[in-house]
Amino acid sequence: METKLPQSVLFCCDHNAVRSPMAEGLMKKLYGHGCYVQSAGVHNDLEIDGFAVAVCAEMGIELSRHRSRSFEEMQQWGDDLSAFDLVVALSPASQRQALEFTRFFHLDVEYWPIMDPTDFGETREAKLIAYRQARDQISKRMIARFGQPTISD
């Protein structure tokens, strides 16, 4: 896979509450300020998920102040989707939405099929395991796509 770090990346998922905020936080942690990173969702009807906050905190990533936002809200706030070099969709619905919003622009949209951890686990520990798996899937895809992290602990 390609290893060049783009100048800007938008990660997206269904609600901007679990996968895309985790991806945004991971990208910032692994690659620092070498790339402008944001996240959005098809909807912004949920707050940041506590399990996502917990599993990212295990890696020193702060997500508790994340505010969920939709594609439409991004545009209302003046974030131009055409300004991003790459949009990474982490769910089928967000891929469809990203392709719809970017059909008039020349930018890349990639789909990374990351499991939705909210559908798994009955106990707190089982849920944490599922969220860690999603976080680790994102991290592995990120490293495969963008190369070894440029920031160390």
**pLDDT at site 150:** 83
CATH no. of 8-146: 3.40.50.2300
Length reported for the chain: 153
Per the prediction, the chain carries an average pLDDT of: 90
**How far, in Å, are 5, 60, 65, 76 from residue 9 at the CA level?**
9, 21, 20, 19
Q: What is the dihedral of CA 16, 17, 22, 25, to 10 degrees?
A: 70
**How far, in Å, are 30, 44, 116, 134, 151 from residue 147 at the CA level?**
10, 31, 24, 19, 12
**pLDDT at site 18:** 97
> Structural domain boundaries of the chain?
8-146
Please determine, for residue 57, whether its predicted confidence score (pLDDT) is greater than 80: yes
- The gap from C-alpha 113 to its chain's centroid, in whole angstroms, comes to 12
**pLDDT at site 152:** 56
At 1, is the pLDDT very low, low, confident or very high (cuts 50, 70, 90)?
Answer: very low
- The mean pLDDT of 45-55, rounded to a whole number, is 94
List, for residues 66-120, the tens digit of each pLDDT value: 999 998 888 787 777 778 899 999 999 999 988 887 777 777 899 999 999 998 9
Give the Cβ contact number of residue 25 at 10 Å: 25
List, for residues 125-150, the tens digit of each pLDDT value: 999 999 999 999 999 999 999 999 98
CB 77 within 8 A of CB 67: no
Q: Which two tokens stand for residue 14?
A: 């269904």
Q: How far apart are CA 23 and CA 136, in angstroms?
A: 10
